[in-house]
A = this chain, B = another copy of it.
Amino acid sequence: MRPVHVAAAQLGPIQKAEPREAVVARMLALLDAAADKGCDLVVYPELALTTFFPRWYMEDQAEVDTWFEAEMPNAATQPLFDAAKAKGVAISFGYAELTPDGHHFNTSILTDKTGTIIGKYRKVHLPGHDEFDPERAFQHLEKRYFEPGDLGFPVWQTLGGVFGMCICNDRRWPETYRVMGLQGVEMVLLGYNTPSVNSQKSAEGPEDRLFHHRLVLQSGAYQNATFVVAVAKAGVEDGHPLIGGSVIVDPNGKIVAESLTEDDELVTAVCDLDETVFGKETIFDFARHRRIEHYGRITSQTGVEVAS
């Protein structure tokens, strides 16, 4: 038994006008509740500190930068790190990162139980577009405000196991899980802000969006014999609805816990990392079964190449 008691700390909506300090207060309340339940690890959503600002078109870079964090921890988030240390709980959350040399990333971090950052991930698969798109029902400007992550998909040994991170749209790409799976990942942590309607296809509403969301998490977990903890920012932000559906998925691809609301909500499970062993040693024993000589296109070509 290698139990990790994990909490998916779903956040309800954050309005554009809501300051970071108010959000951190909500995150602290969830952290307290998780600590009271005996959790080892609390996972918050992508861009947890603010509204999902990539829905807003901005031309002034100074305005854009107000949504970013130039340091982590900083004044607004220091209480989170202090509480993690005081409670002896590891945390993970996402934020918009502005580096000292002016780069912009959609980032998440992982701490140990002393509130020390031990891992950083920068979102690789940025969805959306980079210019104002009048054809869309609403904007999704991640490709405008962020650069693609430059750290790959590392994993970290902590809490008795092997942990990885990804963010939102990364979860739709099997490469995400596989690169971590090839490093023996046992629990993948991810946050997301997923609009309830496809901005380019209004018929694709929350039911379909939740279906796809669960489908990719469950298959990624099963195909790599890993737990996956997926945490929503949910509910209606300034008129824009986001799906909930925070889930903890086991290495069989089964959902073991799921949120019931679109508000601040704690979803918890005790995950025995030894449950990853059977899959990794049998049907997904990569060393015995993978045939990399036939996978070349996956890394040699980016887009589709149709034979003539």
A residues contacting B by CB (< 8 A) are 124-127, 148-149, 152-153, 155, 157, 162, 169, 172-175, 178-179, 181-184, 200-201, 208, 211-212, 215-216, 218-220, 222-223, 252-254, 278, 280, 282-292, 294-307
A295's partner among B175, B208, B216, B220 (CB-CB below 8 A) is: B175
A-B contact list, 21 entries, CB within 8 Å? A124-B294, A172-B283, A173-B223, A173-B290, A174-B223, A175-B294, A178-B295, A178-B297, A179-B298, A181-B304, A183-B297, A183-B305, A184-B305, A208-B252, A211-B254, A212-B252, A212-B253, A219-B219, A286-B304, A287-B304, A296-B299
* Inter-chain contact A127/B283, CB cutoff 8 Å: yes
Q: How far is the CB of A139 from chain B (nearest CB, A)?
A: 15
Most buried by B among A183, A208, A253, A291: A291
Q: How far is the CB of A155 from chain B (nearest CB, A)?
A: 7
A289's partner among B125, B280, B282, B286 (CB-CB below 8 A) is: B125
Q: How far is the CB of A51 from chain B (nearest CB, A)?
A: 22
> Which B residues are CB-close (under 8 A) to A127?
283, 289
> Which B residues are CB-close (under 8 A) to A152?
294
* Inter-chain contact A125/B291, CB cutoff 8 Å: yes
Not counting A124-B291, A125-B290, A149-B294, a sample of 20 additional A-B residue pairs whose C-beta atoms are within 8 angstroms of each other reads A127-B289, A157-B307, A174-B219, A178-B295, A179-B297, A181-B304, A182-B304, A183-B297, A184-B306, A211-B254, A212-B222, A212-B253, A216-B222, A280-B304, A287-B303, A287-B304, A292-B298, A292-B302, A298-B299, A299-B300
Q: How far is the CB of A283 from chain B (nearest CB, A)?
A: 7
> Which B residues are CB-close (under 8 A) to A304?
181-184, 280, 286-287
Q: How far is the CB of A127 from chain B (nearest CB, A)?
A: 7
> Which B residues are CB-close (under 8 A) to A300?
292, 299
Task: Provide the bound-state CA to CA distance between A223 and B298, in Å.
Answer: 14
A211's partner among B253, B297, B302 (CB-CB below 8 A) is: B253
Task: Provide the bound-state CA to CA distance between A49 and B169, in Å.
Answer: 43
> Which B residues are CB-close (under 8 A) to A149?
294
* Inter-chain contact A305/B182, CB cutoff 8 Å: yes
Task: Provide the bound-state CA to CA distance between A152 and B280, in Å.
Answer: 24
Residue of B nearest to A252 (CB): B208
Task: Provide the bound-state CA to CA distance between A127 and B282, in Å.
Answer: 9
Task: Provide the bound-state CA to CA distance between A162 and B200, in Å.
Answer: 25
Known contacts A182-B297, A219-B216, A222-B216; A302/B283 CB under 8 A: no
* Inter-chain contact B175/A290, CB cutoff 8 Å: yes
Task: Provide the bound-state CA to CA distance between A62 and B281, in Å.
Answer: 33
